[in-house]
Amino acid sequence: MDVTGEERIAAPRDKVWAGLNDADILKRCIPHCKSLEWQSDSELVAVIRIKLGPIASNFSGTITLSNVNAPASYRLSAAGKGGILGFAQGAADVELIEDGNETILRYVAAAELGGRLAQLGAKLIGAATQRLAARFFSDFNDAVSGKQAEA
């Protein structure tokens, strides 16, 4: 499953970069994130609750940063297991482009699913992924632009 997109974030690139590397901000913005902690300069561990239809499970996994070109780009690689739902692994290339006082965040991601996740079909998973991404970027935009603090 491949996902590409572009989001306009209402904050300067340095602030967006800082937000993308702040575990507390990311935990607040990632839907259903139970925990997110740095284990080293380039690795985070996470627990995220995933619910698909009547089935729900906690996914535990790692996120590794590579090809870091601060504050312009990096590659995220992730792998997680979700018990009854199976597993997911993938990678995303993230690029931040300055545009005045705003930042354009571009991403290209690919994921591989196994177990019940794969059985549910790409269409269902794709729709859920788009909804979760939209919610993340809305919350992240609010967090780095200062709107979340005002609310």
Mean pLDDT to the nearest integer, 104-121: 84
In the chain, the DSSP E strands lie at 2-9, 33-38, 43-52, 55-69, 73-81, 87-99, 102-114
Longest dimension (CA), the chain: 46
Mean pLDDT to the nearest integer, 18-35: 95
H helices of 30-121, where? 116-119
pLDDT attached to residue 127? 75
pLDDT attached to residue 50? 84
**80-98: per-residue pLDDT in tens?**
998 888 898 999 999 999 9
Mean pLDDT to the nearest integer, 22-38: 95
Listed by start position, the domains of the chain span 2-150
| % of the chain beyond a pLDDT of 70 | 94
What CATH number is given for 2-150 in this structure?
3.30.530.20
* Sequence-separated contacts (24+) of 128-131 with Cβ below 8 Å: 128/52, 129/1, 129/3, 130/3
Confidence tier at 151 by pLDDT (50, 70, 90): very low
Other C-beta atoms closer than 10 Å to the C-beta of 16 total: 24
Q: Torsions phi, psi of 20, nearest 5?
A: -70, -15
pLDDT attached to residue 107? 93
**51-74: per-residue pLDDT in tens?**
777 778 899 999 999 999 999 999
pLDDT attached to residue 123? 65
* The pLDDT of residue 79 is above 90: yes
Q: Torsions phi, psi of 18, nearest 5?
A: -60, -40
**Hey, is 50 helix, strand or coil?**
strand
